Amino acid sequence: MESQEKRILIIGGYGQVGSNIARLIRKADLTIELILAGRNPRKGELLAKELTHAETVYVNLEEGFNLDQFRNIDLIISALGDHSNILRETAILNDIACITVSELADEISPTTFLSLHKTIAAPIVFAGHWQAGLLTIIVKQLATKFSHISRVETAGLYDEKDPVGPLVTDEVTGFVGRALIRQDGKWLHVESKANTRLIDLYDGSSAVGYPMGTLDVPSIAAFTGAGNIRFDFIVGDSIGSGKGLEASHDLYIEIEGILLSGAKKKFRTIISGSRGNSHFTAVGVYLITEKILGLKGQSEQKTGGLYLPETIVSEDNIIKRLSEFGINTIEDIG
């Protein structure tokens, strides 16, 4: 497949997350055609002009989705909620690669069952993890220090000064309610407000964390085997705000277990994205896109099937790679 033939449809393509995804793709490849879709396409015209080889179209998933209005699409990216599952189903039935970023653990079963009945010719990526999987991919790298892991506790801090505000507020309303956690080796669906935990922040203060049902928890369980795993959502002042800069998006990771050396340890790592929540998510989607289409010298993922971010993005040192995007390790304490 020649690069000039590649066409990417981004649903929500000119919103906070979608526009960041589009810019990252354009920076990596000048020839890919970008189709920015949403309910108010005129709002995306300036972005389309900025990107070049881009156009805006009307798509409202509440009214359905008709693939016939587009010619040859190589990849569908959903930068907003697809709770009707229509984009993944359309992609599977038409042999198109697809990345979706907002599904919860109990919303992936329709696609999973469909995949057991249909041959999937292109990659379908469940990226309903925090920041489209970046948190989990980072945990996967950090986990290589351990021979046995007993506990992984993670959290994402949202700063109310972050311009992505309304989007996060809307999504978290759905996420924070009933959460999937692993406790003492058992899978539990718990009420978030009744199962909070206090999380120590970078500046020495602490904040209340509310467990959420993102896909990070089952993903981390799959490759660590840890008996205690949870992801929490925090609202507070970010590291960026604390330094008098723009609001950052911060990830807090604690891993407890036995190191390769045999010593028992708890590692605490803080990752901070200086450009905020939407850029952080866009980087996660971009790295998946880079692998699916073979951008920037990557080998193209030609095998179809269901994927998770951590099973398709194969970075030996993801923490070092993320520094290219202004996402840095602030603290790493044993």
Res 168: pLDDT:
52
CA distances from 125 to 53, 296, 307 (A): 25, 20, 5
Res 18: pLDDT:
93
> CA–CA separation, 179 vs 212, rounded Å?
5
The per-residue pLDDT string of the chain (334 residues; one tens digit each, 9 = 90 and over) reads 344 579 999 999 999 899 999 999 999 999 999 999 999 999 999 999 999 999 999 999 888 898 988 889 999 999 988 878 899 999 999 999 999 988 877 788 889 999 999 999 999 999 999 999 999 999 999 999 999 999 999 999 988 888 765 445 555 545 557 889 999 999 999 999 899 999 999 989 999 999 988 899 999 999 999 999 999 999 889 999 999 999 999 999 999 999 999 999 999 999 999 988 889 999 999 999 999 999 988 888 889 999 999 999 987 889 999 999 999 988 666 5
| Sequence-distant (≥ 6) Cβ neighbours of residue 216 within 8 angstroms | 129, 130, 133, 135, 136, 139, 154, 231
Residue with tokens 């205690």: 228
Res 162: pLDDT:
84
> CA–CA separation, 151 vs 155, rounded Å?
13
Residue with tokens 């010619």: 71
> CA–CA separation, 326 vs 9, rounded Å?
26
Res 2: pLDDT:
43
Residues counted in the chain: 334
Res 300: pLDDT:
87
DSSP class of residue 39? Answer: S
DSSP string for residues in 174-224: HHSSEEEEEETTEEEEEEGGGS-EEEE-TTS-EEEEEE---THHHHHHHHH
Q: How does strand 33-38 pair with strand 7-11?
A: parallel
Outline where DSSP puts E strands in the chain.
7-11, 33-38, 54-58, 75-78, 97-100, 123-126, 146-158, 178-183, 186-191, 197-200, 206-211, 228-235, 249-259, 264-273, 305-307, 327-333
